[in-house]
Protein backbone atom coordinates (compact mmCIF):
# COMPACT_ATOMS: atom_id res chain seq x y z
CA UNK A 1 0.00 0.00 0.00
CA UNK A 2 2.86 2.36 0.83
CA UNK A 3 4.48 1.66 -2.54
CA UNK A 4 1.26 2.54 -4.38
CA UNK A 5 1.04 5.90 -2.59
CA UNK A 6 4.70 6.56 -3.37
CA UNK A 7 4.20 5.79 -7.08
CA UNK A 8 1.05 7.89 -7.26
CA UNK A 9 2.85 10.79 -5.59
CA UNK A 10 5.76 10.49 -8.06
CA UNK A 11 3.33 10.32 -10.97
CA UNK A 12 1.53 13.44 -9.74
CA UNK A 13 4.81 15.34 -9.38
CA UNK A 14 5.87 14.29 -12.87
CA UNK A 15 2.56 15.48 -14.33
CA UNK A 16 2.83 18.81 -12.53
CA UNK A 17 6.38 19.31 -13.80
CA UNK A 18 5.27 18.48 -17.34
CA UNK A 19 2.35 20.91 -17.13
CA UNK A 20 4.61 23.68 -15.80
CA UNK A 21 7.11 23.32 -18.63
CA UNK A 22 4.35 23.13 -21.25
CA UNK A 23 3.01 26.55 -20.24
CA UNK A 24 6.22 28.26 -21.32
CA UNK A 25 6.63 29.02 -25.00
CA UNK A 26 9.99 28.05 -26.31
CA UNK A 27 11.75 29.90 -29.05
CA UNK A 28 12.02 28.00 -32.29
CA UNK A 29 14.32 28.24 -35.29
CA UNK A 30 12.17 28.47 -38.43
CA UNK A 31 13.03 28.40 -42.11
CA UNK A 32 11.18 30.44 -44.74
CA UNK A 33 8.30 28.01 -45.28
CA UNK A 34 7.68 27.35 -41.57
CA UNK A 35 7.89 31.05 -40.78
CA UNK A 36 5.42 32.03 -43.52
CA UNK A 37 2.92 29.46 -42.27
CA UNK A 38 3.30 30.64 -38.67
CA UNK A 39 2.95 34.33 -39.56
CA UNK A 40 0.09 34.10 -42.12
CA UNK A 41 -2.55 34.03 -39.41
CA UNK A 42 -0.97 36.62 -37.16
CA UNK A 43 1.85 38.93 -38.26
CA UNK A 44 4.59 39.66 -35.73
CA UNK A 45 4.32 42.66 -33.45
CA UNK A 46 8.00 43.37 -33.81
CA UNK A 47 11.17 42.24 -35.51
CA UNK A 48 14.33 42.15 -33.41
CA UNK A 49 17.56 42.78 -35.33
CA UNK A 50 20.38 40.95 -33.53
CA UNK A 51 22.93 41.31 -36.33
CA UNK A 52 26.30 43.01 -36.01
CA UNK A 53 26.49 46.78 -36.41
CA UNK A 54 28.36 46.37 -39.71
CA UNK A 55 25.64 44.14 -41.18
CA UNK A 56 22.89 46.42 -39.87
CA UNK A 57 24.56 49.36 -41.62
CA UNK A 58 25.08 47.37 -44.82
CA UNK A 59 21.46 46.16 -45.03
CA UNK A 60 19.14 47.91 -42.57
CA UNK A 61 15.82 46.25 -41.76
CA UNK A 62 12.87 48.62 -41.92
CA UNK A 63 10.90 48.87 -38.67
CA UNK A 64 13.19 46.52 -36.74
CA UNK A 65 14.29 47.02 -33.14
CA UNK A 66 18.02 46.73 -32.61
CA UNK A 67 18.74 44.03 -30.04
CA UNK A 68 20.72 44.96 -26.98
CA UNK A 69 21.11 43.12 -23.69
CA UNK A 70 18.27 44.11 -21.40
CA UNK A 71 15.92 45.05 -24.26
CA UNK A 72 12.43 45.32 -22.79
CA UNK A 73 9.47 44.71 -25.06
CA UNK A 74 5.79 44.05 -24.52
CA UNK A 75 4.93 41.59 -27.27
CA UNK A 76 1.30 41.73 -28.37
CA UNK A 77 1.82 39.01 -30.99
CA UNK A 78 4.66 36.80 -32.12
CA UNK A 79 8.22 38.15 -32.23
CA UNK A 80 10.75 37.50 -35.01
CA UNK A 81 14.52 37.53 -34.35
CA UNK A 82 16.98 38.04 -37.22
CA UNK A 83 20.71 37.53 -36.61
CA UNK A 84 23.94 36.93 -38.52
CA UNK A 85 23.85 33.19 -37.83
CA UNK A 86 21.35 30.61 -36.60
CA UNK A 87 22.87 29.99 -33.13
CA UNK A 88 22.87 33.72 -32.33
CA UNK A 89 19.27 34.08 -33.50
CA UNK A 90 18.20 31.14 -31.35
CA UNK A 91 20.10 32.41 -28.29
CA UNK A 92 18.44 35.84 -28.53
CA UNK A 93 15.04 34.24 -29.13
CA UNK A 94 15.49 31.98 -26.09
CA UNK A 95 16.45 34.99 -23.94
CA UNK A 96 13.27 36.78 -25.05
CA UNK A 97 11.18 33.63 -24.50
CA UNK A 98 12.35 33.47 -20.88
CA UNK A 99 11.18 37.07 -20.38
CA UNK A 100 7.84 36.42 -22.10
CA UNK A 101 6.53 32.93 -21.39
CA UNK A 102 3.56 31.99 -23.50
CA UNK A 103 4.55 34.18 -26.47
CA UNK A 104 5.68 32.76 -29.79
CA UNK A 105 9.21 33.87 -30.57
CA UNK A 106 10.71 32.78 -33.86
CA UNK A 107 14.40 32.83 -34.78
CA UNK A 108 14.89 33.09 -38.54
CA UNK A 109 16.96 30.29 -40.06
CA UNK A 110 19.00 31.89 -42.83
CA UNK A 111 19.23 35.40 -41.44
CA UNK A 112 18.31 38.57 -43.25
CA UNK A 113 18.01 36.94 -46.69
CA UNK A 114 15.40 34.50 -45.42
CA UNK A 115 13.55 37.21 -43.49
CA UNK A 116 13.32 39.50 -46.55
CA UNK A 117 11.92 36.59 -48.56
CA UNK A 118 9.29 35.90 -45.89
CA UNK A 119 8.42 39.59 -45.49
CA UNK A 120 7.90 40.08 -49.23
CA UNK A 121 5.83 36.90 -49.50
CA UNK A 122 3.63 37.97 -46.58
CA UNK A 123 3.21 41.44 -48.11
CA UNK A 124 1.94 39.80 -51.32
CA UNK A 125 -0.49 37.60 -49.38
CA UNK A 126 -1.77 40.61 -47.43
CA UNK A 127 -2.14 42.74 -50.56
CA UNK A 128 -4.00 40.01 -52.43
CA UNK A 129 -6.43 39.21 -49.62
CA UNK A 130 -9.86 40.69 -50.04
CA UNK A 131 -10.36 44.26 -49.04
CA UNK A 132 -12.32 45.47 -46.07
CA UNK A 133 -11.22 44.96 -42.49
CA UNK A 134 -13.45 42.60 -40.51
CA UNK A 135 -16.61 44.14 -39.07
CA UNK A 136 -15.68 47.65 -40.25
CA UNK A 137 -12.58 47.89 -38.05
CA UNK A 138 -10.25 50.51 -39.44
CA UNK A 139 -7.66 50.98 -36.70
CA UNK A 140 -4.09 50.09 -37.65
CA UNK A 141 -1.43 49.40 -35.03
CA UNK A 142 1.86 51.03 -36.06
CA UNK A 143 4.97 48.91 -36.49
CA UNK A 144 7.21 48.31 -33.47
CA UNK A 145 4.81 49.34 -30.76
CA UNK A 146 5.98 46.58 -28.46
CA UNK A 147 9.05 48.32 -27.00
CA UNK A 148 8.66 49.88 -23.59
CA UNK A 149 10.24 53.11 -22.45
CA UNK A 150 9.78 56.80 -23.20
CA UNK A 151 7.11 57.30 -25.87
CA UNK A 152 8.06 58.95 -29.15
CA UNK A 153 4.80 60.92 -29.18
CA UNK A 154 2.35 62.01 -26.55
CA UNK A 155 -1.21 62.58 -27.66
CA UNK A 156 -3.28 65.13 -25.81
CA UNK A 157 -7.02 65.51 -25.66
CA UNK A 158 -7.05 69.29 -26.03
CA UNK A 159 -7.56 70.86 -29.43
CA UNK A 160 -5.16 73.42 -30.77
CA UNK A 161 -6.35 76.92 -31.58
CA UNK A 162 -6.44 77.68 -35.29
CA UNK A 163 -4.30 80.64 -36.39
Rounded percentage of the chain residues whose pLDDT exceeds 70:
64
Average pLDDT, the chain: 79
Question: What's the whole-model pTM score?
Answer: 0.65
Return d(Cα 79, Cα 72) in angstroms, integer. Answer: 13
- Tens digits of per-residue pLDDT, 21-54? 444 557 899 999 999 999 988 888 899 999 999 9
- Percent of the chain beyond pLDDT 90? 42
For the chain, what are the domain ranges?
Answer: 22-126
Phi, psi of 85 (to 5 degrees): -140, 165
pLDDT digits (tens, 9 = 90+) for 139-150: 555 656 666 667
d(Cα 46, Cα 103) in Å, to the nearest integer?
12
Instruction: Give residues with Cβ within 8 angstroms of 16, minimum separation 6.
Output: none
Give the tens place of pLDDT for each residue, 114-129. 999 999 998 887 665 5
Q: Report the topology of domain 22-126.
A: Oxidized Rhodanese; domain 1 (3.40.250)
Q: What are phi and psi of 17, to 5 degrees?
A: -65, -40
CB atoms inside a 10 Å sphere around CB 83: 24
The length of the chain is: 163
Instruction: Compute the Cα dihedral for 101, 116, 112, 151 and give only its sign.
Output: negative
Q: Check if the beta carbon of residue 84 is closer than 8 Å to that of residue 160.
A: no
Amino acid sequence: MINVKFYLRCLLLALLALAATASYAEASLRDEVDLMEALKKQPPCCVIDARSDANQAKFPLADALKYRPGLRIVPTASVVVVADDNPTALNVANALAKQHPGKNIYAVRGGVTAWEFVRKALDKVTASSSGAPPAGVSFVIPHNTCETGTPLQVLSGSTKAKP
